[in-house]
Amino acid sequence: MLNEQQITRLLYRLQDPVLEASLEETEGVLEVQVLEETANIKIALADPAVETDHFVHNIEELLTQFGVNEINIELEYLPAAVIDRIFQVRDNILSESSKTKFLAIASGKGGVGKSTVSANLAVALAKQGKKVGLLDADIYGFSIPVLLGTTESPRKENGQIIPVETQGIQMISMDFFVEPGEPVIWRGPMLGKMIKMFLEEVRWGKLDYLLIDLPPGTGDVALDIHTLI
């Protein structure tokens, strides 16, 4: 007989019939309780009235294979905020439907003008009427806000970061997330999370180009960006 954690992991693989997202993505497994050979399960779906017979049958068939004899399933509605979050994630700049072209500005060493090239190229493209985003991914040597002459900060709206707009460019920089004079001592995993956030949780909109000002070298940030895009 499976325990509650094992059943939860199995349920995470199933998809919400409407959202076509896993129950792990939607956080739709609300409760799993195991009493002897009975499993009581509470699940939230985008619309419990749609194709639920097939969905429930899949759960019963799955758990029966692992020795669960009696299964009680209760279905609830997912909160609207969760549904909105799922749709927003699908519509981010990394989604399959995105038409954005990524241009990474890189160099093996620092101080050679990557940020200057990034800023000037972004402005030049914007003047041509292109929709341009500029991601300052130089974690330790961020300078794009200074080069573009802005002191504004991004804001949050419905769980997403709204980039600063300057000179017709949507812009995000590490500069916005570090206090003045605070040393940046982050390493691999934390850097990866920050880069992922910059790409997935920023509301870039429908960009023609996203320019990425990379830190010098071929370290964690460059590798993470290469993997993500």
Distance CA 152, CA 178 (A): 14
The answer to whether residues 98 and 57 belong to one domain is no
Asked if 215 and 140 touch (Cβ cutoff 8 Å), the reply is yes
The answer to whether residues 160 and 186 belong to one domain is yes
% residues pLDDT > 90 (the chain)? 39
pTM of this structure: 0.59
The answer to whether residues 55 and 73 belong to one domain is yes
Q: What token pair was written down for 80? A: 């609207």
Per-residue pLDDT tens digits for 169-212 = 999 987 777 666 655 555 555 666 777 788 878 888 889 999 99
| Mean pLDDT for all residues in the chain | 85
The answer to whether residues 115 and 221 belong to one domain is yes
* Local confidence band at 76 (pLDDT 50, 70, 90 cut-offs): very high
Looking at 58, 89, 120, the residue that finishes a domain is 89
DSSP assignment string, 71-133 = EEEEEEEPPHHHHHHHHHHHTSTTSTT--PEEEEE--SSSSSSHHHHHHHHHHHHHHTT--EE
Looking at 37, 69, 89, the residue that finishes a domain is 89
The answer to whether residues 77 and 106 belong to one domain is no
Q: What token pair was written down for 185? A: 């001592």
The answer to whether residues 78 and 103 belong to one domain is no
Q: What token pair was written down for 165? A: 């707009």
Give the domain range for residue 117. 93-228
Q: Which of 171, 127, 130 is nearest to 147 (CA)?
A: 171
Q: What is the CATH number of the domain that holds 24?
A: 3.30.300.130
Residue 118 has pLDDT above 60, yes or no: yes
The answer to whether residues 101 and 181 belong to one domain is yes
H helix or E strand, kind and range, residue 172: strand 169-173
When mean pLDDT is compared across 54-68, 77-91, 118-132, the lowest value belongs to: 77-91
How many domains in the chain? 2
Looking at 89, 122, 155, the residue that finishes a domain is 89
CA distances from 99 to 91, 193, 197 (A): 11, 24, 19
- Categorise residue 23: left if φ over 0, alpha if ψ from -120 to 50, beta otherwise: alpha
Q: Which of 166, 157, 167, 169 is nearest to 202 (CA)?
A: 157
pLDDT of residue 166: 93
pLDDT of residue 151: 84
Q: What is the CATH number of the domain that holds 136?
A: 3.40.50.300
Amino acid code (one letter) for 194: M
The answer to whether residues 197 and 101 belong to one domain is yes
Q: Which of 168, 171, 101, 100 is nearest to 128 (CA)?
A: 168
The answer to whether residues 175 and 197 belong to one domain is yes
* Local confidence band at 94 (pLDDT 50, 70, 90 cut-offs): confident
